[in-house]
Amino acid sequence: MTRRVIVALGLLFLFSGAMTGGISNPAGPADIKVIKERVLKSLMVPYDNSSEVERLIATISDDGMWPDIDYEDVSNEGFQHTRHLENMVLLARAYRVKPSHFYKSRKLKNTIELALRHWVDNDYICGNWWNNEIGTPTQLVNLMLITGDDLSKDLVEKAQPIIGRAHIDAPGARPGGDRIKIAGIQAKNMLFTGDGDTFEKVIEVIENEIKYVEWIGREYGYTYRLHEGGFSNRSAGGRGIQYGNSFHHRTDGVNNTLSYGLSYADSFIEWAVYTADTGYAFSEDKIARLVDYYLDGICKMAAFGKYPDPGAKNREVSRRGSLRPLSARNTEDLLKTTRYRAEELQEIANIRAHEGIKPTLSHATFFWNTEHFAYQRPEWYASVRMYSTRTYNMEVGYNSEGLLNHHRGDGTNHISRTGKEYDDIFPVFDYQKVPGTTIMQKESLPPPGEIQKLGLTDFVGAVTDGTYGAVAFDFKSPHDPLVARKSWFFFDDEYVCLGAGISCRQPLPVATTLNQCLLKGDVTLSSGNRQSVIAKGEKEYENVDWIFHDGIGYVFPGISKVSLKNNSAIGSWWDINKQTSTPKSQVSMEVFKLWLDHGRRPSDATYAYIVVPATSLEEMRQNNSSRNIDVLVNTPYIQAVRHTGNNICQAVFYKGGEINIGDNLTLSSDNPGIVMVKMKNGAITHISVSDPNRELTRFNLFVSARIEGSGNNWQAIWNAADGGSHISIELPQGNCAGESMTVSF
């Protein structure tokens, strides 16, 4: 039976200029031929390194092995066999792609067959399932498509069962990040074998994976513990695109948007391009859903839409190059398939393809099912990573990677002005001084098996109107006897960081880290309005007004004592990644590290500082940020800030309470939550609210001003006797619980 005609009456968008054209015809053999030609074109990449090809031909043994590969170690950490597979694909390109000195070379073909025979005779199985169902089949199916028609038929037949481990019912093809990738491998193999019926089914699987899934961790009682999360589970189980456009690969609620979620999008885009203008073309509504996830999830978790947010990365930081800029290619490919949100896609493509282009769109985005906040301005980007009873703190250190990541979710606050502040810093990183976090300073971190922990508090979230936002974290460390209430308040040119109730039961020091990044140039310190460039070293400074480094300022509104390091740090990739290919030699880098020491066993300690990204020394000397900011309250019960320049007040109520937000105007909340109030000419124009606990149906406020009226989701009643207005705002429910609601007056 041929694939359906994709004409979703009344639902299908007709996008002019798109490759798909909005309508697909019934699929047939001609479509298969077109798609196969497109796949082949993508694989037929010229390889002009003749010396490497000659080396591989010269060094292969009579039994098809290369001397620089360990064929004995098939462990998760080892499996150098991937290089054997890569060598075969490299040689296949040299054999088939013009112009090549080795084009159709019999000697080269013999080398390929010798290497392939070794593989099919030994059928190496890795301890890591991913290699068996994704890595190995990917390389072998590429080999077949490039040069399989020229290879011995018995070798091709023997390779099929190995390639066939990648199929839509395979153990690893769980809903989420790996299912699309495995389906894509199978689809390519069906193109090679000519199985059109199976190809059709696999393409439908790929298309139907683009959907939102319900996060199973949002209900009280950790209900996701009742969901089987292993290979045998065929239900979504919270895995996939979340409401709010983050991505979960597993049932732990850990943010995987820039790892599995990125390859998930890449695989869909790849097949959207391959199948465009054929009877197998994806429907416009599925492509539009993918574009929304791509722009509002992936791109918003990248500084300027280009540089991956370190706070959104997990064990990948222990791999060199994990923060390299995202490619423009997948964005450009999306533009070949649709005109939906084309201007935004084109801007991202331009930013990634060229240096120096900054985004025009500013945003404040909270991914409520993932407890991650991202904030973009044209000249800077920042984020906050948290966790709650609804999510785990960090990915497990799978395959002996990311071995020191215990605290990288504890309110982590990365700051990017160039996008390159943290490039490959992680072998020399101090993992007990993660930017933004408050951590008990231990002699050493717990074993890697204790990295992943369930969050201990419900009150974790953010309020945002899409442009500005405030973040709150009722932090209880799952590793240490430490608590703190932490909040961040974001504006156009600066943001404010508050901490209160910092208490620890162990007689050990506790530190809050402002930043730890690569050292770039001088560090200037101001004390008593006198500035000086400080010498390299590590030292504690008293009575600090502000510190400036690499275009970022750190302002201390009160009398502050700070600790600072601006010299070399030494470490090793091997300390954080035990893969056999990981170098064990020492690495030295120049590092900037700034933190506040709360002393040993603090009780109800506090902090307050302002971060001024994308600034200059002259602007720091003018100290405008400090003059624009009023820290209204900083207690364990309420934390609130007013920005006089923006006329915005943001407040975190850990319990119901009242504050004065200026000009004889009071704001009261009957319930815990986060509130943002915008004003103009002394009058309230907008109120945004959110419920970090995800329990309320309505948010109840009182303001000492006259506001009357109602809307679809709010009501305001003036009460002369009380001297103010009672405002009730309906909150998002279900899959959107934790999202903000904004009303305008």
Residue 222 has pLDDT above 70, yes or no: no
Alpha-carbon span 180 to 168, nearest angstrom: 9
111 and 240, same domain (yes or no) = no
Domain boundary among 605, 625, 645: 625
Q: Report how far residue 296's alpha carbon sits from residue 689's, in angstroms, rounded to the nearest whole number.
A: 21
pLDDT classification of 228: cutoffs 50, 70, 90: low
Give backbone dihedrals phi and psi of 366, rounded to 5 degrees, phi first: -115, 125
Confidence of residue 633 (pLDDT cuts 50, 70, 90): very high
Report pLDDT digits (tens) over 148-173: 999 999 999 999 999 999 999 999 99
pLDDT band at 3 (very low <50, low <70, confident <90, very high): very low
Q: In terms of domains, do 29 and 54 share one?
A: no
Q: Judge residue 348's burial from the number of C-beta atoms within 10 Å of its C-beta, 0-12 exposed, 13-18 middle, 19 or more buried.
A: buried
For residue 516, what are the β-bridge partners? 593
What is the C-alpha separation between 237 and 644, in angstroms, rounded?
46
The 3-state secondary structure of 477-539 reads: CCCCCEEEEEEEEECCCCEEEEEEEEEECCCCEEEEEEEEEECCCCEEEEECCEEEECCCCEE
**Shared-domain flag, residues 75 and 110:** yes
Confidence of residue 230 (pLDDT cuts 50, 70, 90): low
Structural domain including 145 reads: 44-165
Cα angle 479, 483, 489 (rounded to 5 degrees) comes to: 115
pLDDT at 4: 34
116 in the same domain as 57: yes
Helix (H) or strand (E) holding 677: strand 673-680
pLDDT, tens only, 689-701: 999 999 999 999 9
CATH number at residue 155: 1.50.10.100
Domain boundary among 361, 395, 415: 361
Q: Is residue 643 part of a domain?
A: no
The encoded tokens of residue 80 equal 């150098």
State the average pLDDT over residues 320-324: 97
Q: Per residue in 268-314, pLDDT tens?
A: 999 999 999 999 999 999 999 999 999 999 999 999 999 999 999 99
pLDDT grade, residue 503 (50/70/90)? very high
Residues in a beta bridge with 638? 653
Instruction: Indicate whether 152 and 288 sit together in one domain.
Output: no
Over residues 365-414, the pLDDT tens digits come to 999 999 999 999 999 999 999 999 999 999 999 999 999 999 999 999 99
Q: What is the mean pLDDT of residues 103-129?
A: 97
Asked if 468 and 530 sit in the same domain, the reply is yes
Task: Out of 361, 393, 424, pick the residue that ends a domain.
Answer: 361
Say if residue 23's pLDDT is above 80. no
256 and 308 fall within a common domain: yes
pLDDT greater than 80 at residue 473: yes
Q: Which residues of 680-690 are buried (b: 16+ CB within 10 A; e: fewer)?
A: eeeebebbbbb
Q: Read off the tokens for 516.
A: 């730890």
Is the pLDDT at 664 greater than 90? The verdict is no
Could you tell me if 59 and 4 lie in one domain?
Answer: no
Q: Would 664 be classed as within a structural domain? A: yes
- Asked whether residue 177 is domain-assigned, the answer is no
Q: Is the pLDDT of residue 239 over 70?
A: yes
For residue 441, tell me if it sits in a domain: yes
User: Do 387 and 353 share a structural domain?
Assistant: no
Say how far apart CA 505 and CA 479 lie, in whole Å: 12
| Residue 410 is assigned to a structural domain of this protein | yes
CATH of the domain at 528: 2.70.98.10
Is 565 inside a domain boundary? Answer: yes
Q: How many domains would you assign to the chain?
A: 4
User: What is the reported pLDDT for 175?
Assistant: 84
Residue given tokens 């019999």 in the structure block: 106
Within-domain flag for 447:
yes
Residue 448 CB coordination number (10 Å): 18
The pLDDT of residue 16? 35
Q: What is the CATH number of the domain that holds 691?
A: 2.60.220.10
Residues 384 and 405 in one domain: yes
One domain for residues 596 and 613: yes
| Helix H or strand E encompassing 385 | strand 380-385
Residue 685 and residue 609 share a domain:
no
Asked if residue 372 belongs to a domain, the reply is no
